[in-house]
């Protein structure tokens, strides 16, 4: 994945890039019961950001990170995202559990209508507990945590995750917990990245909206999952973003460009482009994902969408892309 930087010294300008991104493997993974934002008619998926209530945001340059000193207990179920070809019987065999146990923790699961990308719980059965443990996340750093208040009494919270390893990560999820000045927990939610993987050297924000919480709530973050991508996985395709154009005016950026597949690639059935907006202090203030359709090898499709900040004037935008067959 290549990250493109768009910088602004004044409102209402355009910057053009003509860069080639390095190849990126991608994977459709969403975790726990968090929901992806819905897509609009233009193919863009995001939760509408709401205006600032004040100019003050609760953020930490060194986030309050809760680090588990021991692995999660094997009795704790973990989340699995359905992949192409998955069946109940194969999942039960893979994780050394019975099909009845799998259905028991997923009472609404219909084995005949599982769709790619849906999340289910995997219990740790007796045989699994005897021979293996619940996956332990790769300890990648969370370099920034910031929460921005909205006019309706909510908070948009972002936790910027940086992949400082040499391999691609998947299943990245963060638990963001808000507490008061006395340490009492106000609310806690799961936050996910705008894309399904996190390539080496790349930073992407996990984000979530809290409604009806105090403006001065203190955020704490915990890395719940971040797993190394298995080598030789054919579910991911290389992709690049080319000819990007950004027009930044105040807290809004109009974006366009093209997603391209190399000639030697397989055809892509789905592509995503993520845009992450930063203010002049380097804080994440907005994120949005554009969702596109099929691309044939050696061709590309254009994209056009906007990303808004939560009130602060935008200074730069970073792009990331993924594609899947």
Name which CATH class applies to 5-49+234-324. Answer: mainly beta
The pLDDT value given to residue 134? 56
Question: Same fold for the domain at 5-49+234-324 and the one at 58-67+138-228?
Answer: yes
* DSSP per-residue string spanning 151-187: TTS-EEEEEEEE--SSS-EEEEEEEEEEE-TT--EEE
| Of residues 276, 174, 188, the one with CA closest to residue 226 | 174
The pLDDT value given to residue 271? 94
Name which CATH class applies to 58-67+138-228. Answer: mainly beta
Question: How does 295-317 read in b/e, with b if 16+ C-beta sit within 10 Å?
Answer: beeeebbebebbbbbbbbbbbbb
86-136 pLDDT, tens per residue? 888 888 887 778 888 888 888 888 888 888 777 787 775 444 434 445 567
Containing 93, the helix (H) or strand (E) segment is helix 88-94
CA–CA distance, 241 with 244 (Å, rounded to integer): 7
The pLDDT value given to residue 22? 39
The pLDDT value given to residue 42? 41
CATH 1.10.10.10 fits 78-131, yes or no: no
Q: Residue 10 phi/psi, 5° resolution?
A: -160, 160
Domain range list for the chain: 5-49+234-324, 58-67+138-228, 78-131
| Of residues 4, 37, 21, the one with CA closest to residue 256 | 4
- pLDDT one digit per residue (tens) for the chain, 325 residues: 444 444 444 333 333 333 333 333 333 333 333 344 433 434 554 444 444 333 445 555 445 554 443 333 334 556 777 877 788 888 888 777 888 888 888 888 888 888 877 778 777 544 443 444 556 788 899 999 999 998 888 999 999 999 999 988 888 999 999 998 888 999 999 999 999 888 888 899 999 999 999 988 999 999 988 988 877 777 788 899 999 988 999 999 999 999 999 999 999 999 999 999 999 999 999 999 999 999 999 999 999 999 999 877 999 999 998 988 8
175-206 pLDDT, tens per residue? 999 998 888 999 999 999 999 888 888 899 99
The pLDDT value given to residue 144? 94
The pLDDT value given to residue 43? 53
Containing 99, the helix (H) or strand (E) segment is helix 99-104
């Amino acid at each position: 994945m290549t990250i493109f930087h768009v910088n602004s010294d004044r409102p209402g300008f355009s910057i053009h890039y003509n860069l080639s991104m390095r190849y990126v493997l991608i994977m459709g993974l969403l975790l726990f019961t968090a929901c992806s934002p819905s897509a609009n008619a233009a193919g863009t998926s995001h939760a509408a950001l709401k205006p600032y209530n004040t100019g003050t945001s609760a953020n930490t340059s060194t986030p309050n990170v809760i680090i588990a000193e021991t692995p999660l207990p094997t009795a704790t179920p973990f989340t699995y995202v359905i992949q192409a070809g998955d069946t109940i019987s194969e999942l039960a065999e893979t994780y050394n559990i019975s099909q009845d146990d799998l259905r028991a923790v997923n009472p609404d699961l219909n084995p005949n209508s599982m769709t790619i990308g849906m999340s289910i719980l995997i219990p740790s059965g007796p045989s699994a507990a005897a021979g293996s443990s619940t996956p332990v996340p790769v300890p990648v750093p969370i370099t920034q945590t910031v929460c921005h208040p909205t006019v309706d009494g909510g908070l948009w919270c972002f936790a910027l995750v940086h992949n400082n390893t040499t391999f691609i990560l998947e299943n990245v999820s963060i638990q963001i917990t808000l507490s008061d000045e006395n340490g009492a927990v106000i609310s806690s939610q799961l936050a996910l990245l705008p894309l399904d993987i996190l390539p080496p050297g790349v930073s992407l924000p996990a984000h979530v909206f809290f409604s009806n919480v105090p403006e001065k709530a203190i955020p704490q973050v915990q890395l719940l999952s971040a797993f190394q991508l298995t080598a030789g996985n054919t579910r991911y395709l290389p992709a690049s973003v080319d000819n990007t154009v950004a027009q930044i005016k105040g807290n809004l950026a109009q974006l366009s460009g093209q997603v391209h597949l190399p000639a030697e690639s397989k055809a892509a059935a789905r592509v995503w482009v993520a845009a992450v907006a930063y203010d002049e202090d380097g804080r994440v203030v907005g994120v949005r994902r554009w969702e596109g359709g099929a691309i044939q090898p050696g061709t590309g499709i254009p994209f056009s969408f906007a990303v808004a900040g939560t009130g602060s004037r935008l200074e730069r935008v970073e792009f990331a892309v993924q594609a899947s067959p």
